[in-house]
């Protein structure tokens, strides 16, 4: 027996001669066995199966349980089969993009997908990207998933709080209102000092807030307002934490003896600034 692909489909041939001469003895059961064997080694082989086999529930289930992304090769009917889609997204959350519109609006299916891969949120329906439970689950896995949430939830303090706590850099996807919220921004900065760059102009110009931040991360001085980068107390606090912060100070303070001494006492290379 010889196996091969003919016209994009798996076929089983009785001999090499039959294969060469093009006289195929196609046995449905044998073909099915060949496809199953192939899928166990490489799920992408499903794309070469005939339409009938791509609509075979057992075959497709076997494939997606090992390689969720091959859901894309299943028939339309099976991409709307809840159990098959659930198996696919549990193996590979991004497989959600190949599910039917109906199942991309199924909360349980989408929750399973974002638990496996938070970025799968981008493939959920608009309704579920506005679902607090779904979005919270996603951002707790990966804060960057906040970018796929609805505008309403990117303005939800709890959702954004969870996102920036997981990854401070996610603050960039929060609403303008929450990027002006000291508690939210502070939570983000604690996780990632440079998150200050996403804070509102008002916070960049808030002396007490910036002073607190640069005491944690001196180089965050880079994102402070021009006025505060010329504030000696703020700059001193920054360079005492990180000498590299000197480069972000105003021209005047980079020439201030006390500020420069504070920096070079930590690292002589600070003179380059």
What is the block-wise mean pLDDT of the chain (273 residues), using blocks of 10 residues?
46 44 46 76 82 91 93 97 98 98 98 98 98 98 98 98 97 97 92 88 91 89 93 93 90 84 66 56
> Cβ(35)–Cβ(60) under 8 Å?
no
How many C-beta atoms lie closer than 10 Å to residue 27's C-beta? 15
- Any bridge partners for residue 4, and if so which? 11
Give dist(CA 131, CA 151) in Å, integer: 11
Report pLDDT for 37: 78
**Residue 193 exposure: Cα atoms within 13 Å on the Cβ side:** 18
Q: What pLDDT shows up at residue 261?
A: 77
Q: Under a CB-based contact definition with an 8 Å cutoff, are residues 109 and 86 in contact?
A: yes
Pick from 234, 232, 239, 191: nearest CA to 210: 234
Cα separation of 185 and 182, whole Å?
5
CB contact burial 232-264 (16+ within 10 A = b; e otherwise): eebbbbbbbbbbbbbebbbeebbeeeebbebbb
């Amino acid at each position: 027996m010889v196996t091969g692909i003919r016209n994009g489909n798996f076929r089983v041939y009785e001999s090499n001669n039959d294969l060469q001469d093009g006289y195929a003895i196609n046995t449905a059961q044998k073909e099915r066995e060949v496809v199953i064997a192939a899928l166990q080694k490489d799920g992408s082989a499903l794309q070469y199966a005939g339409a009938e086999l791509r609509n075979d529930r057992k075959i497709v289930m076997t494939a997606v349980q090992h390689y969720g992304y091959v859901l894309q090769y299943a028939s339309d009917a099976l991409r709307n089969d809840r159990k098959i889609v659930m198996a696919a997204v549990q193996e590979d959350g991004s497989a959600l993009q190949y599910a039917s519109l109906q199942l991309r609006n199924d909360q349980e299916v989408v929750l399973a997908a974002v638990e496996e891969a938070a970025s799968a949120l981008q493939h959920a329906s608009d309704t579920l990207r506005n679902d607090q439970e779904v979005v919270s689950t996603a951002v707790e896995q990966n804060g960057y998933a906040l970018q796929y949430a609805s505008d309403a939830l990117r303005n939800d303090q709890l959702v954004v709080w969870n996102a920036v706590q997981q990854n401070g850099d996610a603050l960039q996807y929060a609403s303008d209102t929450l990027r002006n919220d000291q508690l939210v921004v502070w939570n983000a900065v604690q996780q990632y000092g440079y998150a200050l760059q996403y804070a509102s102009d008002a916070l960049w110009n808030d002396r007490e807030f910036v002073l607190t931040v640069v005491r944690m991360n001196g180089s965050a001085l880079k994102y402070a307002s021009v006025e505060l980068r010329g504030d000696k107390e703020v700059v001193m606090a920054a360079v005492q934490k990180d000498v590299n912060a000197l480069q972000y100070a105003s021209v005047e303070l980079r020439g201030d003896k006390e500020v420069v001494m504070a920096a070079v006492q930590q690292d002589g290379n600070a003179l380059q600034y």
